[in-house]
Chains A and B, each alone.
Chain A
Amino acid sequence: MIEVKNIAKSFDGRTVIEDVSAVMKAGQCNLIIGSSGSGKTVLQKCIVGLFEPDAGEVMYGGQSFTKMEREAKTEIRKEIGMLFQGSALFDSLNVEENIMFPLSMFTTDPHKKKLDRVNEVLERVNLKDVNRKFPAELSGGMKKRVALARAIVLNPKYLFCDEPNSGLDPQTSLVIDKLIKEITIEFNMTTVVNTHDMNSVMEIGDYILYMYQGRKEWEGSKKDIIFSKNERLNSFIFASEFLQDAKDMRMLEMTGKIPNIRNMDHLTGGDSPAI
């Protein structure tokens, strides 16, 4: 479990995040959502320790990560895997070497054992015959899967994903989302995903934290989102008419009624229940 307590961060006097608190539980996908510039990436970087927060603290399994010495932080970091927006694969290493890197750095396992583990995680992310390929030879989706394989190769307790679907087509995004969800449940990880992809929110979001202008605007589950009356959240998540329709259809399924004054005739064939 990760606890974020009253985190604040500013750059050159400009406050980027302010007084954000959250509890991210193990075995579930915790999503940080918000529009571009809302501070979700900065919040995630504060959580993983890439940025030092100006105030507040981050707790990993009850231990204050913010107040730890470098050596203790290094120990926690060995339990963290991260999937970066641009994959962050090492250009000079091939797929096998990229995934093997954390194993070579932090274990004394023989090469054969490391290779078996590499092949195991590659299989887990549904990749075959790519061991000798270099990152430049891979598609965007394959790069993400290799990066995910590298992130989980040491069996981390915590998995962070920064915009895992950016630059991917909807179908590949779905594959990545499903992988993240499956891996989270399979290894009982605490997964934190930064995204503004609404498909991801509705697919994998167990706990959702909505950021607005550097502050926590809303938190809840994906079910709560359907019933949320927070206007900022609604206008962010259900920005298009299509998504608004989808929300209303879901609500219709769940409660048998639509709690707004929208004309739903085009969805229900004129049998819209009374509000």
Chain B
Amino acid sequence: MTIFNDIGRYLLMIKGMFSKPENHKMYWKEFIHQCTEIGFGSLGIVAIISVFIGAVSTIQTAYQLVSPLIPPSTIAQIVRDTVILEFAPTLVCIVLAGVAGSRIASELGNMRVSEQIDALEIMGVNTKTYLILPKIVAALLMIPLLVVISMALGIWGGRLAGTAAGILSASMYDKGLLELFVPYNVIFALIKSYVFSFIISSIPAFYGYYVKGGALEIGRASTKAVVVSCILILFADYILSALLL
């Protein structure tokens, strides 16, 4: 029963977000703040992960492609497609569920426990609109951007590792990147990243907004938010792959 109760409250929270802002300027300020927190705050970790994912993909693909009949440029194709289709959107979003998701849950949880949300309600501010909507919109804007950056850095990381390890030359890698390129893969990755962005922002917001208790419960809510977000990301990944590929 708890799960149905949670789903109901989650849907009501989403519905409650859509109301007229009390002051557009204040909402815009909050939106920009969230863009900075979610986007720039996660850029470093996304860049590091992406470069290493690309690098490891190149080395491991080369390790498995032992047949002399397969040209080395195939390595670049495989790295490109795995990074675009899976690593950049899914893995980065799972990492972001930990980085941005836990931050959203703990921020809202702390605001709830310290009565800051009540203080806003008393002032006449719709807290769901003011606190949750800018986070979701910011995530929908910034996370796909991070995914695109991750794609580029992942592919570049593969090139770097391939040439550094002497697996293939830079020109061979570049040639491989252009072979059999399917632009739809990028669109598919972006669709996935939009769905994941919504999960990453709305699920932690739900757990943080409705937290009850003290510091211990904030920690629990934060952990639960990350776990549920990761499971939903993987589930959505499967559904989207089955439907769109």
Contacts and interface: CB of A to CB of B under 8 A. Distances in A.
Interface of A: 48-50, 73-75, 77-78, 80-82, 84-86, 88-91, 101-102, 104-106, 160
8 contacts: A50-B122, A77-B121, A77-B122, A78-B123, A80-B124, A81-B122, A89-B116, A90-B119
Interface in B102-143: 110, 114-116, 118-119, 121-126
A31 to B, nearest CB: 19
A106 B116 CA distance: 18
A104 B26 contact: yes
A106 B115 contact: no
Measured as residues with beta carbon below 8 angstroms from the partner, the interface class of chain B is: 10 to 19
Interface of B: 22-23, 25-26, 110, 114-116, 118-119, 121-126
A77 B118 CA distance: 12
Contacts of B25: 104
Q: Which of B23, B115, B119 has the most CB of A within 10 A?
A: B119
Contact of A104 (B23, B115, B124, B126): B23
A90 B23 contact: no
Nearest to A108: B23
Given A74-B124, A77-B124, A78-B124, A88 B119 contact: yes
A73 B116 CA distance: 19
B20 to A, nearest CB: 9
A84 B22 contact: no
A3 B114 CA distance: 28
State the majority secondary structure of interface residues on A: mixed
Nearest to B110: A91
Given A49-B121, A91-B116, 11 more contacts: A75-B124, A78-B123, A80-B124, A82-B119, A86-B114, A88-B114, A89-B116, A101-B123, A105-B22, A106-B123, A160-B122
B115 A86 contact: yes
A137 to B, nearest CB: 16
B23 A106 contact: yes
Nearest to A74: B124
Contacts of B116: 88-91
Contact of A50 (B118, B124, B125): B118
B236 to A, nearest CB: 31
B23 A105 contact: yes
A16 to B, nearest CB: 15
Given A105-B23, A105-B26, A88 B123 contact: no
A78 B116 CA distance: 16
Contacts of A105: 22-23, 26, 123, 125
Nearest to B116: A88
B121 A50 contact: yes
B41 to A, nearest CB: 14
A201 to B, nearest CB: 24
B159 to A, nearest CB: 41
The 5 nearest A-B residue pairs measured at CB: A77-B124, A88-B119, A88-B115, A74-B124, A82-B122
B122 to A, nearest CB: 5
A48 B120 CA distance: 12
A105 B124 CA distance: 10
B62 to A, nearest CB: 48
A153 to B, nearest CB: 10
Contacts of B122: 48, 50, 77, 80-82, 160
A104 B28 CA distance: 12
Nearest to A73: B124
Given A86-B114, A91-B110, A106 B124 contact: yes
B35 to A, nearest CB: 15
A103 to B, nearest CB: 10
Contacts of A49: 121
Contacts of B125: 105
Contacts of A48: 122
